[in-house]
Amino acid sequence: MRSQWECLLQNLGNWQGSFAQLNPQGEILEDIPSETILELQEDRQTMRQTVRRFINGQPEDLVLEYRSLNKSTTFFENGAFCQGSLQFAPYTEFGAEMGLIHGDRRLRLVPLYNKAAQLDRITLIREHLQHRPNSQRPILTLNDLLGKWEGEAITIAADWLEPEVTATKTEWQQEGDRVTMSLQMGTQSFTSIAIASSLQPQILTFSQDQVQTLFLPDGASLTCPVAIAPRQPFRLSVSWLLEPNLHQRMVRAYDAKGAWLSLSLVTERKAL
């Protein structure tokens, strides 16, 4: 397995795109052009990261240099990553950045919760490598997900043991406004029921734990609690429809005490 530093290197390059600010209903409030440059310095041990956003056409830079990664950041071998709070606690702000990568494209989502533990704002970052086509996909819809999907999950536990690989099967079904999502991951099985509203087709509302799925541009979606309940386990999940029959998602799980538990990267293809 690659080291965490070697996994980071899969993100080298000049990534051009935008930072979109969304409200908790997934509506875009503003969309700021950007470029993020990750370059390895001459010593081959220092990463220089420049985040440039064009505010009213004028560049504003944030420059970071680092030689190592802390435990709040976790990478997979293909370069996908998550950087987030290791502990949820009441009366503090909380959030995580989850990044997926596919060839010359990246997708990053950052859900942020306020001190009342309510989903407050979302940042959607869509990027492509410089001099490559900006081939974004349309807004994800429920119809894109309906059917059976099969693949595997790679799970990294918070105690940094070797990643665990398990087979997965996911099925989405719809009857009227009722949506059923069934997931089998190794020996574990989960079933969730959601309601699809014709008035807000971009939102799926699940019946348990105040969880919702937001369908977003570029084939993306975010599944997370609208409000985090104390002493209850919860998950933050970002998904990306890479191709009509290829889907990827990242799931960051927390336990009932609010401690980060694990990070999973699931890649599935639609079953014929």
- H/E/C letters for each residue in 32-83? EEEEEEEEECCCCCCEEEEEEEEECCEEEEEEEEECCCCCCEEECCCCCEEE
Share of the chain above pLDDT 70, in %: 100
Q: What confidence tens digit (pLDDT) does each residue in 50-93 have?
A: 999 999 989 999 999 999 999 899 999 999 999 999 999 989 99
Distance CA(230)–CA(92), nearest Å, equals 13
Q: Structural domain tally of the chain?
A: 1
Section 258-265 average pLDDT: 97
Q: What confidence tens digit (pLDDT) does each residue in 31-49 have?
A: 999 999 999 999 989 999 9
Query: Which tokens belong to 4?
Result: 């965490």
The band of 161, judged by pLDDT with boundaries at 50, 70 and 90, is confident
Is the pLDDT reported for residue 130 higher than 80?
A: yes
Q: What confidence tens digit (pLDDT) does each residue in 135-145 have?
A: 889 999 999 99
How do 81-84 and 94-102 pair as beta strands? antiparallel
pLDDT at site 11: 97
How big is the chain, counted in residues?
272
Residue with the larger pLDDT of the pair 159 and 173: 173
Counting runs of H as helices and runs of E as strands, what totals does the chain give? 2, 19
Distance CA(84)–CA(206), nearest Å, equals 24
Longest dimension (CA), the chain: 60
Amino acid identity, position 263: L
Residue 71's Cβ-count burial label (10 Å; 0-12, 13-18, 19+) is exposed
pLDDT at site 186: 86
Distance CA(3)–CA(90), nearest Å, equals 34
Closest C-alpha to 266, from 226, 228, 221: 221
CATH number for 161? 2.40.128.20
Domain residues for 45?
Answer: 4-270
Q: How many CB atoms lie within 10 A of CB 88?
A: 20
Section 233-255 average pLDDT: 97
Closest C-alpha to 266, from 170, 130, 133: 170
- Name, in order, each residue with C-beta under 8 angstroms of 235's C-beta and a sequence gap of 6 or more: 223, 224, 251, 252, 253, 254
Distance CA(34)–CA(23), nearest Å, equals 20
Q: What confidence tens digit (pLDDT) does each residue in 170-229 have?
A: 999 999 999 999 999 988 899 999 999 888 889 999 977 689 999 999 999 999 999 999
Q: How many CB atoms lie within 10 A of CB 36?
A: 21
Tell me how far the alpha carbon of residue 189 is from its chain's centroid: 22
